[in-house]
Amino acid sequence: MLKNFVVIGGGFAGTKVTRELEHTLPPDWTLTLVSQENFITFNPLLPEVVGASILPGHVIAPHRQMIHCSHVCMAQVTEIDTVNRVIHYLGEGAGTMRYDQLVLACGTNANLDIVGSSVSKPAAADCHPSGTACYRVSMTLNNLNNFNPAGGQDTDTNVVWLTQWLVQSSTDSVGGRNFFAYAESTNGGALSCFDGDAGTQRIGGGLTLTYPGRIAITAPGACTAQTGKNGTITIDVPTADVSEVDPVDNSLHEVTASTMTTPGPMECLCTVASPIGVPFNLIDVAKAYTFTPVPLADLQIVKTAPSTGHVGQSLLYTITVTNNGPDKASGATVNDQLPKNAGFGSASASQGSCTLKPQKRLVVCDLGDLGPATGSPPAGTATVSISVKPTTKGTITNTATVSDTSPLDPNPSNNSSSATTSISP
């Protein structure tokens, strides 16, 4: 009885091995190449096809032109029964094929589990918890339909989506720190998030980076997922957790996102197995990038006044300016256009100074710098007091605006505020 030599995969490796074997196998052997396509693609020339400098037909070669004395079966192998030495395939219908020797040359498929990675630095007021300055780490996952670990041969129970980055320091003895944040699920359960900085573990003579969770991120809304085709996992990482002494700049360097599986929750394993973590099974890694935050300062102004007043009596406006961050605002200025039916009384500010431009009936208060609300110093809030004397009865509406010379204010909707007072004789 003839023996069967089967090669699965008609790429570079499978075609080459088939061409070599068809001249060297003993006569009592048959040789069969099973491949999904009936041609080999010369991958190095694919970019030229994309660029339309050569035609698609120029980068493929049919197997039957390259293989002369063997069988070629265009089919997708779906299962290999190693006990009975049979492969199952789907071609023009389902079939099986017995083998005595088997070569697997199926190539590799990009996993593309992680299809996007980004970091932003929202205003502290938008972070979770509100008012705690944060980096917002986001990872986009292909078909994030549930939180189960990848199937197949991976027996791990824990799946981890991690973003890491470097902060270089001019004084740190090891040059900087490798911070990270991750979301994880055990046995498909709810996500939990952690941040920390990476350690190293000596394995088989080499060093492997490990990621023990140092701090649980438990604030409501700080560790969220949106499932779906391009699902996202978003983590608000408090900047205080991932700060380094004397950073060389304000960038996060070599930001990479990855999916990995581990035999159990990372932060538990690291305390059980060793002080610095456990090995992991890497599923996919996103391309590295540098995140340089664009400085932003969200100035907010709120103007208040009594609801009623009288002609000839002082009417006091109180204006509160707050910098919601995330960065310091330089040259904050309040402009207040005085109402026509009121005379000017006085203007003062908790920092900086106010002047009246009588021709324009405009009060201008230069407040100088305002720190982010959570930072110190300078203060994140300043107040301005302006008094006027109404000259006629009726309704007085007065509006104040705020601006800064730098940086950009991402939210102009809260840069003006009005107050209305009903004036009686």
Ligand X SMILES: Cc1cc2nc3c(=O)[nH]c(=O)nc-3n(C[C@H](O)[C@H](O)[C@H](O)COP(=O)(O)OP(=O)(O)OC[C@H]3O[C@@H](n4cnc5c(N)ncnc54)[C@H](O)[C@@H]3O)c2cc1C
DSSP-derived 3-state class of residue 354 = strand
Give the side-chain half-sphere CA count within 13 A for 398. 34
Joined together, the tokens standing for residue 133 give 């300055």
Q: What is the DSSP string of 277-331?
A: ----EEEEEPPPEEE-PPPBEEEEEEEE--SEEETTS-EEEEEEEEEEEESPEEE
The tokens for 87 are 């492969």
CB of 204 to ligand X, least distance (A): 26
The minimum distance between CB 196 and ligand X, in angstroms, equals 36
Nearest to 19 by CA among 55, 86, 72, 73: 72
- Rounded-to-integer distance, Cα 404 and Cα 167, Å: 30
H or E, element range at 207:
strand 206-210
Minimum CB distance to ligand X smaller for 77 or for 242: 77
How is residue 150 annotated by DSSP? Answer: P
* Closest to ligand X by CB, 44 or 151: 44
- DSSP class of residue 406? B
Residue 261 beta carbon to ligand X: minimum distance, rounded to whole angstroms = 23
Shortest gap between Cβ of 50 and ligand X (angstroms)?
A: 9
CB of 123 to ligand X, least distance (A): 43
Q: Which residues bind ligand X (CB under 6 A)?
A: 8-14, 34-37, 43-44, 46, 76-77, 105-107
3-class DSSP state of 20: helix
Sheet-wide strand order for 93-98: 76-81, 86-91, 93-98
Q: 352, 383 in Cβ contact below 8 A?
A: no
Q: 48 or 246: whose CB is closer to ligand X?
A: 48
Cα radius of gyration (the chain)? 34
Burial (Cβ within 10 Å: 0-12, 13-18, ≥19) of residue 85? middle
- Minimum CB separation of residue 285 from ligand X in Å reads 17
Q: In angstroms, what is the minimal distance from the CB of 108 to ligand X?
A: 7
Residue (76 or 415) nearer to ligand X, CB: 76
The minimum distance between CB 151 and ligand X, in angstroms, equals 16
Please identify, using beta-carbon distances, which residue of 37 and 254 lies nearer to ligand X.
37
Residue nearer to ligand X on the CB measure, 36 or 330: 36
C-alpha of 149 from chain center: 20
Whose Cβ is closer to ligand X: residue 85's or residue 88's?
88
* Residue nearer to ligand X on the CB measure, 34 or 125: 34
Nearest approach, Cβ of 45 to ligand X (angstroms)? 8
Q: Which is nearer to ligand X, 150 or 215 (CB)?
A: 150
Task: Tell me the residue nearest to ligand X as measured from the CB.
Answer: 11
